[in-house]
Amino acid sequence: MSIIETKNLTYTYPGGTKPSIKDVSIKIEKGEFVLITGPSGCGKTTLCRCFNALIPNFYQGELEGEVTVIGLKVAEHQIYEMAKHVGLVFQNPENQLFALSVEKDVAFGLENLGVPREEMRKRVDSALNLTGIYDLRERAPHELSGGQQQRVAIASVLAMQPEVIVLDEPTSFLDPLGAKRIFEVIYDLNRKLGVTVVLVEHRLDLTAKYANHIVIMDDGRIVLDGEPRKILSSEEARLIGVGIPKPTRLYQILQKDRVSLSNTIPLSSDEMATMLREVLKS
Amino acid sequence: MSVFDGLKFRRVYSPIHNLDPRIKFIYVCAIFTTAIIFLELIPLMILFLMQVPFVILAGVKREWLRSMRGATFLAAVIFLTNFIFSFISAGYIVTAFNLEHAVAMTLRFIVLVESFSVFFLTTSPDHLGLALEQTHIPYEFCFAFTTAVRFVPVLAEEAQTIMDAQKARGLELERGNFLKRIRNYIPILIPLIVSAIRRSLELAEAMESRAWGATESRTNLYVLKMHRGDLVLIVITVGILALAIYVRLFLGIPSMNDILGRFFEPQYF
């Protein structure tokens, strides 16, 4: 059974004239690293909000269709029930940290759930270690860099031990190096802990190599859905204006020029480099 | 922004910082009460000097001196009004007694400022929030308090950005008469308020996503425990109060003039 499944999901924000997402049906399997991308305003954020009941409980509005997460029908549950299963990390790291110390922030969700103190201590420490911010635990959030703040946000979601972590453009406030580190942390969580990751991101150059499932949206609809190598090398993806990774694009151009390369489409510079080395050798 | 520097708490570790904020607060209230029940100079001087070891133990001398300097203007106002009133009521003569009275009133104010500043300088907002929580104040209020403290530097920075942006578009803040100057700040306030509202919506969304309101019996990562230091402070507090009440009720307090007078007026000998 899929861990997240949406069926014909259509949603209009209160006061909105047209739906932000239309007829969205996707399936996400357990342990997948899913990348959702598409032009700004295409409904990616709206879709994320459907996964943990923020839609329709926090934002009213009109929802049709159905979302099921871990067998729970999202519309029938409160946000705090869903929060145990789906962790959401937002775009602006500053606006999702409330406490005066990192440690306290990571504990916030657990405190709300009423987890006993000893258990809480253990979970907080392990979340801090997994995201590599254990040394920052007594600092105040506003003293940290954007990248560190975003790692705190991830740790605070992680401490609640959700099955799915949804990250909505977590790196748009960060510099390239900070972004790269965040992606590495996320990938580690996916690989080592088997957490299902749903990542909304424009920077495909940095993230495509981690994904094993990619969804491209445009104007509220799912346009492409499937295996990254196949989708990113397709003509449609390029026309929508998705930031195709440069190695993939280079591969396409070279193929057009009938340079014979191997059949696996590269997603990262490393893959491209090995491929070119082989060609140059022969 | 120097205006907001005072609100940023510096994390320091000292025996005073580690004290239970609830006990510290009771201590401050005791000093407050004691300062109120005495009108005489000598006990107020003793109260003033008693705070000094606290300041030194806490290692916040510089900040403390700064806050005391901030109080000098008000202290001067209090001294002058007291002095002028007693000068008039005494029939337009300066007496050593009304001088002493004015000094005592000023000192009383300084003692109040002193003890409260020691409390705020040595108590982290985090600790304070925790103390509020553990005195069974509804969690919503404690959360509002710590969040407000958390966002002070953020909003200060944002105000600065907006000011820079508006100045870059030709807004002149330092121009015109008093009323005009106030009106100049409207283009700063409106974007600041709008962005604060937007920020609060995002915060609410993040709170909801982290199981806000999941259970009535919320737990806490930290717990305030009484240590030996807190017991010592309780003893000191009770001692001060008891002594103050005893002295007030049963002992006459000599004024500075009585004591000094013996040296200045040799005809008594």
Q: What is the pLDDT of residues B178-229, one digit of tens each?
A: 888 888 889 999 999 999 999 999 999 999 999 998 988 889 898 888 888 8
Whether the Cβ atoms of residue A104 and residue B126 lie closer than 8 Å to each other: yes
Question: Residues A97-112: pLDDT tens digits?
Answer: 988 889 999 999 999 9
Strands A62-69 and A21-24: unpaired
Roughly how many angstroms between the first and final C-alpha of chain A, as a whole number?
46
Q: Tell me the pTM.
A: 0.84
Helix (H, G, I), strand (E, B) or coil at B233: helix
Smallest CA–CA distance from B147 into chain A, residue = A98
Please give the Cα distance from A198 to A49 (Å, whole number).
12
Please give the Cα distance from B175 to B185 (Å, whole number).
11
Helix (H, G, I), strand (E, B) or coil at A195: coil
The yes-or-no verdict on residue A119 having pLDDT over 90 is yes
Which tokens in the block code for residue B125? Answer: 């907002």
Contacts of A156 in chain B (CB under 8 A): 210
Contacts of A124 in chain B (CB under 8 A): 221
Amino acid present at A254: L
Which pLDDT band, with edges at 50, 70 and 90, does A66 fall under? very high
CA A137 to chain centre: 25
Whether the Cβ atoms of residue A3 and residue A47 lie closer than 8 Å to each other: no
Nearest to A95 by CA among A35, A170, A38: A170
Question: Residues A177-227: pLDDT tens digits?
Answer: 999 999 999 999 999 999 999 999 999 999 999 999 999 999 999 999 999
| Element containing residue A146 per DSSP (H, E) | helix A146-158
Helix (H, G, I), strand (E, B) or coil at A226: strand
In the CATH hierarchy, which fold is given to the domain comprising A4-228?
Answer: Rossmann fold (3.40.50)
How many residues can be counted in chain B? 269
Domain limits of chain B? 13-123+249-268, 129-209
Domain limits of chain A? 4-228, 245-282
Query: What is the distance in angstroms between the Cα of B67 and the nearest Cα belonging to chain A?
Result: 23
The yes-or-no verdict on residue B4 having pLDDT over 50 is no
Omega before A56 cis (within 30°)?
yes
Which residues of B, range 130-169, sit inside 8 Å of A by Cβ? 143, 146-147, 149-150, 153-154
Place of tokens 């700063």: B188
Q: Does the beta carbon of A111 lie under 8 angstroms from any beta carbon of chain B?
A: yes
Which pLDDT band, with edges at 50, 70 and 90, does B269 fall under? very low
Q: What is the 3-state secondary structure (H, E, C) of B63-96?
A: HHHHHHHHHHHHHHHHHHHHHHHHHHHCCCCCCH
Helix (H, G, I), strand (E, B) or coil at A68: strand
